[in-house]
Structure 1
Amino acid sequence: MKEIAAEGAHAPAFNMRIMGLNFHRVIFPASFFIVLALVLAALYEPVAFGQALEAIKGWILKNCDWFIMIMGNLAVLFCAGIALSPYGRIRLGGENAKPEFSTLSWFSMMFAAGMGVGLLYWGVAEPVAQYTEWWKTPLNVVKNTPEAAHAAMGATIFHWGLHPWAIYLTSALVIGYFAFNKGMPFSLSSGLKPLIGDAYKGLPGQIVDVFTVVLTVFGLATSLGLGAMQATAGITHVLGIANSFSFQLLFIFTVTGLAALSLWRGMHAGVKLLSNVNMLLALALFVLVAIAVGVGTFLSSVLTAAVDYVEYFGPLANWINRPDPDWFQGWTVFYWAWWCTWGPIVGVFVARVSRGRTLRQLVCVAMVFPTIATVFWFAAFGLGAINQVAAGEGALAAGLADINMALFQFLEVLPMSTITSMLVVVLLVIFMVTSMDSGALVVDNLAAGGEPDTHAGQRILWLFMVALVTVTLFVIGGDTALKGIQAGAVAMGLPFMAIMLLMMVGFIKSLVTERPS
């Protein structure tokens, strides 16, 4: 396939340059003022604002669960179908395009951006929660039983396996194809062209991109704020210092500063380097824990976890006549909506770093391989923690008193707990830095009308804007305002899934029309 010439869709006429910075005339100011308005609303009456957004989120999770579940399942089928079809041979950038990054670095960057910090935080907490009925159990199994252990592992891997990466990849496949092979902007609106024609450059496309910027900013802000509370709880536990409000703010500024330094150094010397370091440290932690729980026990746990995932995949993917509607809506439907808040971030970032790869390679490395890694991770941490609870060992045996501490309480029972706990602290910091890096890159791309090559200072500007939103909510509204914004971001997952559906249809139409098999 010959590389298709750009259509000029980056639309420089719609962009404005200020002191070397490049902004879209509509997307940037509209996004900025919407973010500002929502922050002011959250600060003016944080309790009422949070309650209103929680009510909206609750209504969506309860009444639109069928659509959210269908879209999650459809994303898996869509990505698998593209990979297995003849279209899987399409190479992003054209048949002669060469990959910019090695396969290991490519995988590391995608994994770090997608869910690295989440696996650290929930690697122990979620399996224990599902096992002990911290908030009901999957499929209403009886808690603290062998059946509950299998259901807990099946449900946890289901939440972190194929489905979230398929949601990410739906955006990545579409955006990567239209950007690298059609010369269109790195934005979700590009995926609408097969359906609405050149109107994707106008108001309809701009609405989609403004929505995406707002969703991404608040997804990043809530993740940074709540992540700061989670990370500092672990740091204070390990180092024995007070977990004060000032310390949490210091953590936010530290992560932001490190992320700014990484962005300034560029993709290769910054983001790629940190992602590679992340993967090496995560691998070291994984190996230490696998050895600590016992190699034989761990290998048996891997097989158990894989079988549980396969066995429970069908029942958990079903949304009709569920025996556990409260658990189903509170966990799975919430997760699918939350992954959508990161869909633009990870989707655009994955597309950015995937030039030279085929669509089939993209699905394998960004959906199948992370799922395999997730099985191994939860086998070591999740099933290891469930075994501790079942045996009555350690603080986890008394229940999840503090989710922020679950991982550290699990490690305390194992050998080398000081080393592994310190390693977790370092990983938390670096994973958050890489997530903020990828998020700032994406917000900058979108606010510049899909222009991928912008000044590093412009990306850092967005990074500090996200940090400013986080700190403002943190200082004035506290946890209430942050969780209110999180509820709003989750509620925005519903329209994002509608956009996903349109992108899928447009992408298939484009492939069938222009690239007959």
Structure 2
Amino acid sequence: MNDDHTKELEEKLYSRNFKGFGFDMNPVVSIVAGLFILLFSGYALINLDRASVMFEGIKNLILSRFDWIFVLSSNVFIVVCLLFAFSKLGNVRIGGYHSKPEFSNFAWYSMLISAGMGIGLMFWSVGEPLQHSNILPPIFENSNQAYSAMATTFFHWGMHPWGIYALISLALAYFAYNKNMPLSLRSVFYPIFKDKVFGVLGDIIDILAILSCLFGLATSLGLGVQQINSGLNYLFGIPFSVNIQVVLIAIITLMATASVVSGLDKGVKILSELNIRIAAVFMLAVLLIGPTGYILRLFSNSLGIYINDFIKTSFFISEKNSAWQGQWSIFYLAWWISWSPFVGMFIAKISKGRTIREFVLAVLIVPSLLSFLWVSVFGGTAIYLNNLADGSLFQVVQDQLPVALFEMINLLKMPVFQGSLRVLLSIVGTILVISFFVTSSDSGSLVVDNISSGGKPNSPIPQRVFWAFMEGFVAAVLLLIGGEKALNALQTAVITTGLPFAIILLVMSVLLIMSLQEAYKKQKAIRDVQRHKRIYEKYIRGKTK
């Protein structure tokens, strides 16, 4: 597809946008997505008990009957990404041969982790390893329960989620920056549907992406404020209640809105870098104050078990213990896949100028290793302290998961200034949870805004504010009227989107392989011309001498 034709199709797509009152958005995509969200929320709230039963049935059906799709497809995504990295296709540069990265490596990694994993690691890093160490999983079986538990946690937060993110973000970035198409999920399917992706068919694809993003963000925001509320309750005695959590959602939404208005280069980038710095200090403090030797041994031995059993566990589909796998591994895979349009779009926006080899290896390896280290520090400390406290911390995880991080801090034994250090660590932990939520919210709002405008890189500020408020509004209304039960129903909706997106990603893998081969030939031709030019210039200089 030539540039003139691309420009013509883009102009045709953008001509359908509604422009007025500070908006520049595709009316079909925006209105249909908005109405569906309102109708879904209304049904869940009016018939909450009935809706909960129905949604739970749908979730159980997907997780039990289609577990093999999630397991096999997630492995395909990793293999395809590694194929790109270690083949000649790895030399292709996102954005063209002369393109340069827009962000430093530190800023790039900071935004990757903040958008993709940050808040999840804050929430689960204490609870999940502790859960697996007490209720043994059927994978990574080892005589040492703690090693098995940590290797299982590595599996859920390592290569598999980042392989999903790497694939979709690479596809989006390639079609946007190398094929000069809108940065939108519809563009990836141009090789199959051609110009139809700029019409109704493309609208349907973008509507699915917006629903996935908004449902996922609203659910995480609603569940995450419970952890913030727990921290404030522990520190200042603020009641743990739905009303407090709605107020927290309003505050976080306002903070995210301010970041969204500032844009990607300022608000999101600065907040993401700040997150990583605070997180590094927080992790280092717990590592040094906690059982340092135990944590490092746990990290090293668990990493060895994870690597040794990686292939066997990756293809494991349980028959006898399908309930565990459905509750944990399949649930996670469905969650990551349903989140992939949001995270993938955001990673694509910040990755122009990277070679595919650099991109794939960085996205697969660096965040995975940092995640492993993080859960080793916090999960390892939790397991160690739980053994000393006769299982009391595990009981907290069972009864009230959001407060687990703060209860772990309370159990830490500190030689001096015990009370002050515990309060300080709890304050830092609460700030970090809030900060990660703000970056997830603002980056998500930017992505939804981008999709609703048809892939325009810069949309009006009022439109960014609208989507940021929409996300907070859905989470607040569900919490206020339906409480945690309504959020569980919304969470089921997110998981349900994982099944069709798994199939979409498989198709996307094939399309990307075909398209990258074409890009490799073009960029190789440019490299050959430049190499011949250098040889010729060297020859001329030699003749002149």
TM-score range (shorter-chain normalised) is: over 0.9
Equivalent residues in 2 for 1:238-249 (5 A)? 238-249=235-246
CA apart distance, 1:462 = 0.3
> Residues 492 and 175 of structure 1: is their aligned pair in 2 closer, same or farther, counting only changes over 3 Å?
same
What's the counterpart of residue 151 of structure 1?
Answer: 148
TM-score between both structures, scaled by the size of structure 2: 0.90
Residue number in structure 1 paired with 2:540: none
Query: How far is the alpha carbon of 1:514 from its aligned partner?
Result: 4.9
Q: Does 1:311 align with 2:316?
A: no
**Match of residue 231 from structure 2:** 234
Deviation sequence 1:259-280 (CA, Å, 0-9, x none): 0111112222211111111000
Report the equivalent of 1:395.
392
Residue 446 of structure 1, CA deviation: 0.8
Task: State whether residues 5 and 183 of structure 1, in contact with CA within 8 Å, keep that contact through their aligned partners in structure 2.
Answer: no
Report what 1:354 is aligned to: 351
The Cα shift of 1:324 comes to 2.4
Which residue is 1:128 aligned to?
130
Q: Which has the larger radius of gyration?
A: 2
1:483 corresponds to 2:488: yes
Report percent identity of matched pairs.
35
Of 505, 508, 522, the residue aligned with 1:503 is 508
Q: Give the gaps of 5 or more residues in structure 1.
A: none
1:209 aligned onto 2:209? no
Give the 3 Å change call, closer, same or farther, for CA 405–243 of structure 1 in structure 2.
same
Farther off after superposition, 157-166 or 380-389 = 380-389
Checking the alignment, whether the CA contact within 8 Å between 1:194 and 1:509 is kept in structure 2 is: no
Contact 1:394 1:412 in 2 (8 A): no
Equivalent of residue 409 in structure 1, options 385, 407, 410: 407
Deviation at 1:20, TM superposition (A): 3.4
CA contact (8 A) 2:294 2:380 kept: no
Aligned to 2:466: 461
For 1:389 and 1:258, locate their aligned partners in 2 and report how far apart those are by CA, in whole Å: 36
| Contact 2:59-2:495 at 8 Å conserved across structures | yes
CA RMSD of aligned residues (A): 1.9
Aligned partner (choices 308, 321, 324) of residue 321 of structure 2: 324
Aligned in 2, Cα 1:295/1:151: closer, same or farther, shift over 3 Å? closer
Query: Do the aligned residues in 2 keep the contact of 1:259 with 1:434 (CA within 8 Å)?
Result: yes
Q: Secondary structure at the residue paired with 1:182? A: coil
Shift of 1:398: 4.4
**Secondary structure at the counterpart of residue 102 of structure 2:** coil
* Matched letter for residue 56 of structure 2: E
What is the DSSP-based 3-state SS (H/G/I as helix, E as strand, rest coil) of the residue aligned with 2:193? helix
Q: Hey, what's the Cα distance between the residues in 1 that align with 2:144 and 2:411?
A: 24
CA contact (8 A) 2:71 2:317 kept: no
2:6 alignment partner in structure 1: 7
Q: CA deviation at 1:140?
A: 7.4
Cα distance change on mapping 1:410 and 1:308 into 2, 3 Å: farther
Structure 1 distance, partners of 2:315, 2:495, is 21
What SS does structure 1 have at the residue aligned with 2:354? coil
User: Which residue type is aligned with residue 430 of structure 2?
Assistant: V
* Alpha-carbon distance in structure 2 between the residues aligned to 1:359 and 1:299: 33
Does structure 2 conserve the Cα–Cα contact (< 8 Å) formed by 1:6 and 1:183? no
CA contact (8 A) 1:127 1:152 kept: yes
The 3-state SS of whatever aligns with 1:351 is helix
| Deviations 1:352-392, CA, capped at 9 Å, x for gaps | 01111112222222221011111211221112211222333
Match of 1:186 among 183, 187, 193: 183
Whole-angstrom distance in 1 between the partners of 2:440 and 2:226 = 16
Distance in 2 (CA, whole Å) between partners of 1:329 and 1:397 is: 22
CA pair 294-141 structure 1, distance change in 2 beyond 3 A: closer
Q: Is the 8 A contact 2:92 2:520 kept in 1?
A: no
SS in 2 for 1:93: coil
Are residues 140 and 440 of structure 1, via their aligned partners in 2, closer, same or farther at CA, if it must alter by over 3 Å? closer
In the aligned structure 2, how far is the partner of 1:140 from the partner of 1:109?
Answer: 32
Query: Partner residue of 2:433?
Result: 428
Aligned equivalents of 2:377 and 2:25: distance in 1?
46
Aligned 8 A contact 2:206 2:451 in 1: yes
Aligned ranges 1:53-452 → 2 under 5 Å: 53-133=55-135, 137-139=136-138, 146-392=143-389, 395-396=392-393, 398=395, 400=397, 401-414=399-412, 415=414, 416-452=421-457
Per-residue CA deviation, residues 192-244 of structure 1 (Å, 9 max, x unaligned), is 11122222222222211111111111111111111112221122112222122
Deviation at 1:513, TM superposition (A): 4.3
Residue matched to 2:45 = 43
Q: Deviations over 1:409-468 (max 9, x none)?
A: 221122332222111100000000000011101111111111121112211110101111
Provide TM-score, normalisation by structure 1: 0.94
Q: Is the 8 A contact 2:158 2:368 kept in 1?
A: yes
1:301 Cα deviation after fit: 2.6
| Stretch moving more, 408-417 or 212-221 | 408-417
Q: How far 1:152 moved relative to its partner?
A: 0.8
- Corresponding letter in the other structure for 2:403: M
Q: Secondary structure at the match of 1:17?
A: strand
The answer for the alignment partner of 2:538 in structure 1 is none
> What is the letter of the counterpart of residue 491 of structure 2?
Q
Show structure 2 runs of 5+ residues with no match: 415-420, 525-545
Q: Is the 8 A contact 1:139 1:323 kept in 2?
A: no
> Aligned-pair distance for 1:339?
1.0
SS at match of 1:138: coil
Instruction: Name which of structure 1's ranges 252-261 and 323-332 shifts more when overlaid on structure 2.
Output: 323-332
- What is the CA–CA distance in structure 2 between the aligned matches of 1:6 and 1:460, rounded to whole Å? 33
* Alignment check: 8 A CA contact 1:92 1:180 kept: yes
Query: Aligned partners of 1:175, 1:106: CA distance in 2, in Å?
Result: 17
Give deviations 1:321-351, integer Å, cap 9, x for gaps: 5442111111000000111222111100000
